[in-house]
Amino acid sequence: MPDGKSDRIVAARLRQKERHQAKAQQNGSTAVRSDTPINRHGKAKVPPGQTQSKKWPVLDLGEHPAIDTDTWKLTLGGSCENPTTLSWLDFQQLPQMNDVSDFHCVTTWSCLDIAWRGVRFRDLAELAKPHGKARYILCHAYDGYTTNLPLHEALKEDVLLVHSAQGDVLSVEHGGPVRMITPQLYAWKGAKWISAITFLEDDSPGYWEQRGYSNLGDPWQEDRYSSDDGA
């Protein structure tokens, strides 16, 4: 990961955090209008503080690892009965799901109704068989990125590891060949270029969580930043 560019991205995100906190203090909480369209979970499709984007912007830490499907692997490990490593062929032989869901970036834009194709995380969990004490996962990416989720959030029906979006193969810029999507959370919780998932008994903050971002990231609560530093 290019350290100089990564440091500039972190600094820009921290400045954004300060601006958002100042705006929140000035304006107070944002109410959701009663006539706002809702999603399958009964929540507004565009969460408070977000603006709908007609495009799907590309945001990352400055590196786009090019992983050939011949060499791509997904490792499932940690606190589970059946640690395993899946090849591209193994991954494609798992149940393939088509779904449509929304994508909410913490930088205040939302892209709605993206058509995905991929594998449900819950099917991967059934394959790995996490131990009863496993309560979290840590996702790892080929560029060194990490992010953590509570296991119960990852097991929701529309959390997928996708290889296609809008009918096309997922581009490298958007995390191809495979990325995770977490429609109920801010999109940084879905790792691009995913390479491994570790089941954990104790929580372990990932890249942005270590830098002041929320440990959960619920868009409908505007849960962008950690409360540990006064957010």
pTM score, whole prediction: 0.82
Res 166: pLDDT: 95
Q: What is the mean pLDDT of the chain?
A: 86
Distance in angstroms (rounded) separating the CA atoms of residues 136 and 151: 4
Res 41: pLDDT: 65
Distance in angstroms (rounded) separating the CA atoms of residues 117 and 75: 20
The CATH number of the domain holding residue 124 is: 3.90.420.10
Distance in angstroms (rounded) separating the CA atoms of residues 196 and 159: 16
pLDDT at 209 over 80: yes
Split at pLDDT 50, 70, 90, the class of 45 is confident
Split at pLDDT 50, 70, 90, the class of 63 is confident
Domain extent, residue 56, equals 3-229
Exposure of 56 in the CB half-sphere (CA atoms within 13 A) = 15
* pLDDT tens, position by position, 102-146: 999 999 999 999 999 999 999 999 999 999 999 999 999 999 999
Q: How far is CA 138 from the centre of its chain?
A: 11
Task: Give the least confident one: 27-31, 90-94, 148-152.
Answer: 27-31
Task: Give the least confident one: 64-73, 168-177, 221-230.
Answer: 221-230
Say which residue, 94 or 20, is predicted with more confidence. 94
DSSP 8-state symbol, 30? P
pLDDT at 22 over 50: no
Q: What is the mean pLDDT of residues 13-23?
A: 49
Encoding tokens for residue 148?
A: 């953590």
Q: What is the mean pLDDT of residues 154-181?
A: 97
Number of domains forming the structure of the chain: 1
Distance in angstroms (rounded) separating the CA atoms of residues 104 and 44: 12
Q: What is the mean pLDDT of residues 40-58?
A: 85
Res 114: pLDDT: 96
